[in-house]
Amino acid sequence: MKLKPLIKLGVLFFCILTISACTNNKTTVEEQVMKLVPFPQSTNILYIEEHKGGKMILYIDKSGFRGAFYEEELDYFQDTTNAELTPQDGFDWTMDNNTHMAIFAGVITDEKIKTVIVKQRTIEQQAKIIDIPEGERYWFTTFEGLEETQKGEPDPLKIEAYDMDGELYWISGVYDGGAYEGRTE
């Protein structure tokens, strides 16, 4: 009968499909990123999100907290310097400015902080605050780049955190002619 060769052919086809599926060498974004971070042995990826044609990644390593952007098609990776994981005044931030984008990211341990805004000379953006399952809070925002300081003016970059009543609670930048970073209280 001709049924036996068809069954054998079907079994062979199934085996080939199974082997092909098992030997798929496509790496995940996490695996690709782990090859690019500065301290892969101590890196713990906290959060990944689709962002501007790539992935925004928040992670911690032996140096602290970092934010990164990864664009898989271009194999482009950009990460920030580190921020403290347990800042004394409940808030810390880090950044990286590159030709691709400016990344701002940070740690929030003060439960009073509900909103984070990054301000430049003419533009500002509200950061996205991420609550992860372990109860920790992190934030990030990106810009296409940083605006240049106008001649004779102080650096316009400001990081501001607001409480639940919309009151300014924590600041970093040049205010009233002097640099200041910390709680406004």
Instruction: Kindly write down the DSSP assignment for every residue of 43-76, as one continuous string.
Output: -EEEEEEEETTEEEEEEEETTEEEEEEEETTTTE
Neighbours of 92 (CB within 10 A): 23
The span from the CA of 114 to the CA of 129, in Å, is 8
Owner of token pair 């500002």: 124
End-to-end CA distance of the chain: 89
Owner of token pair 């990030």: 140
**What are the tens digits of pLDDT across the range 44-95?**
999 999 999 999 999 999 999 999 999 988 889 999 999 999 999 999 999 9
pTM of this prediction exceeds 0.85 = no
